[in-house]
Every structure is written in C-alpha cells, then in structure tokens.
Amino acid sequence: MASVATNTAPEERLLNLVVALMATEQGLTKDTILESVAGYREQVEGGAGRDALEKMFERDKESLRRLGVPIETIGDAADPDDLREARYRVPSGEYELPVDIVFTPAEIALLNLAGSVWGEGSMSEDARSGLRKIRGLGISVDEPIIGYAPRINLRDHAFAPLQQAIEQSRIVTFSYLKPGEPSPRVRRIRPLALVDYEARWHVYGFDVTADGDRTFLLSRIVGDVVVTREEFDPAEKDGAGERAQRGLEEVARRNSALLEVNPGTEASLRLGRRAQPAEQGIRVPYVDVHILADELASYGPEVRVVAPPLLRDEVIRRLQATLAVHAPAEGSAA
C-alpha cells in the first residue's frame, strides 16, 4: 500500500481551501480542488483513495460552514440535484463592506499600514501554488485574494494529531485533567469529530474504557496525543459532528448563568452575543462552569455573577488568586 503524504496540517488545508474558493467567481469542481489545493493534492500524490478524499472534503466543508464560512454549491441549472459536476465557491459579496461605510483619512492611513504589514507574505506558498495551478487550468483567479489568508497556528497542540487520527480512523490515547482532580487520567478513545463550540475546540468520540460516547475539551489534554495503529470502522464517523454539536447544545440549555453586566463594556459586547435578557441582567447558557468562570474573571468588575452560586464561587476564587499574585509582599513599601 502506498504511503499517504500528510505534511499539510489540517487547519492549513482548511485555510488553503477557503483561499481557493474565494479566488474564483465561477467556482471550482471537486476534481479541481482535490488535484490543486494543498492538503488534498498531497493525499492524491501519496495514493489516497478517492472515497477517502471525498469524505475529507465533505468534512472540511462541514467544518468551514460551522465556522461561518458561506460555501455555495453551484449545480446543473437543468437538474439542480445532480451534483456530479457541481462547482463550489465562497461568494466574494459575503465579505464586501457595506457601501455606506466611510473612513476618515486617518483611518484609511491606518488600514493601508495594516495592509502593508499583512500583505502577500500572509498567504502561504502552498496557497499561492494552488492558485497558480488553478489559473493554469484556465480558471479565472482573483488576485486581490492575496493578503486575506494568513498562516495560522493551532491554539491546542492536540488538534493536529486528533484530526489525523479521525482521518485515518485510528484509536488515540491521551492524558486528560478534569477540574478538581489531583492528576490526569489516561483516556483511550475512538475519535469521531472535532467540534468548535463557544470558540473552544472539543473532540467527540467513543471512550473505550468508559464504554460510552464522550466529549473532551482539547485545552485539558495534558502531554502528547498518541495515535495508535489500531483502527476502527470509519462508518462510526458518519454524523458524529452533528451528534457532538447537539450534545453540547443540550448541556448548554440545561445550564445558564444569571449575570449583571456593565453596559458598553467588553463583557457586555462579548456576553451579549449569546445571552438572553432577564429581569436582573442577562442569562448566558454554558457548557462548563470552570471555562465560563475563567472568562468572567477576565472581565474583572465589568460583570457580577448572580447565579448559580458555584459559578460565583469559582469566579471569586480566581479573582482572589489573581489578587494574591499581584499583592505587595508583606513588609514592602506601598
């Protein structure tokens, strides 16, 4: 069996895909994407099967749509349900500024300065290579896309090996530290989907030891994720992303925090996006009390927790710990 190249990190493959789909108004066929966009092209050259590549592409489209990227499918006008020769694109109009927005000369100068720093160097060589190949096929490519696609780094070191394990349908092991536990425990799971929920990455899978489905926060994984050679049935991944999303949303519906927030503050802006008005402030749904406590403590006096008591206690504990770190040492001058 031919070895499959996996040099392009999954998150950069997604970025390269967005660059390619934004760069042409007419859209790209699946064949063009798989043969031209870095991340897929390496897999093709390494001998990956067509079915595996198409499933990877479908998962990537799903991931991008969950992140808010509007991927448009252009089918056969005579038969819209026939997607064999469908083209995919990200409509440029989705990212155009409204015509009534006007910048002052000073603001324009700052934007130009930012643009010069961002510049062409923000696009990876792989992305530029993919656009050149697409252009070579006779497909019009929009040059201004250059500069809109920076290289990005993973926020969680566990993301890349977990994505690799999902793509290869392999069991992983990792050490996981839950709040309140003195030491991490080793988990052995069949990873089925990576889900971005409330700006934090989670891995959803079947916990072999616990014999049940579980969702883990990537930031609580301690040390390296070990991708084993033990495989599982790829069919288990079908619909896993949706199941994970529904599970997290259900947990959030069962938990809500009653908060008083100072208007016009950063806390008001960020929390207001996911809150519902309440008689005394706002109600914010949440999945993990410790994660929410970390966020609320970062706002300082801008927000006060009315309920639940556990959340209030966790926020106070974090603020007290911060005060202890920054308090002057005993006997030092004020």
Instruction: Decide if 48 contacts 227 (C-beta within 8 A).
Output: no
pLDDT surpasses 50 at 147: no
pTM: 0.52
Domain chopping of the chain, boundaries: 10-145, 159-236, 255-326
Output the six-digit token pair for 137: 């096929």
The answer to whether residue 279 scores a pLDDT higher than 80 is: yes
Percent of the chain with pLDDT over 70: 72
Token duo for residue 229: 């050679």
Residues 6+ apart with CB under 8 A from 322: 297
Q: Which residues contact 40 (CB under 8 A, 6 or more apart)?
A: 13, 33, 34, 53, 56, 57
Inter-residue contact 189 to 199 (CB < 8 Å): no
Note the pLDDT of residue 315: 94
- Strand 276-278 and strand 256-261: pairing? unpaired
Structure tokens at 333: 């001058």
Q: How confident is the model at residue 1 (pLDDT cuts 50, 70, 90)?
A: very low
- pLDDT tens-digit map of 59-114: 888 888 777 677 888 875 555 555 667 888 887 655 555 556 666 666 655 555 55
Has domain 159-236 been given CATH number 3.60.21?
no
- Compute the mean pLDDT over every residue in the chain, rounded to the nearest whole number: 78
Exposure on the CB side of residue 62, measured as CA atoms within 13 A = 15
Q: For residues 134 and 32, is the Cβ–Cβ distance under 8 A?
A: yes
Say what the pLDDT of residue 120 is: 43
Separation of alpha carbons 240 and 59, rounded Å:
10
Per-residue pLDDT reduced to its tens digit, 222-249: 999 999 999 999 999 998 988 998 999 8
Confidence of residue 130 (pLDDT cuts 50, 70, 90): low
Average pLDDT of the segment spanning 208-215: 92
Q: Which residues pair with 191 in a beta bridge?
A: 205
* pLDDT value at residue 260: 95
Query: Given strand 221-231, what is the order of strands in its sheet?
Result: 212-217, 200-207, 185-197, 170-176, 221-231
N-to-C CA span, the chain: 71
Q: Which of 70-84, 126-140, 252-266, 300-314 has the lowest mean pLDDT?
A: 126-140
Cα-trace Rg, the chain: 23
At residue 165, the pLDDT reads 93
Residue 175 pLDDT: 96
The count of other CB atoms within 10 Å of the CB of residue 91 is 14
What pLDDT does residue 258 have?
95
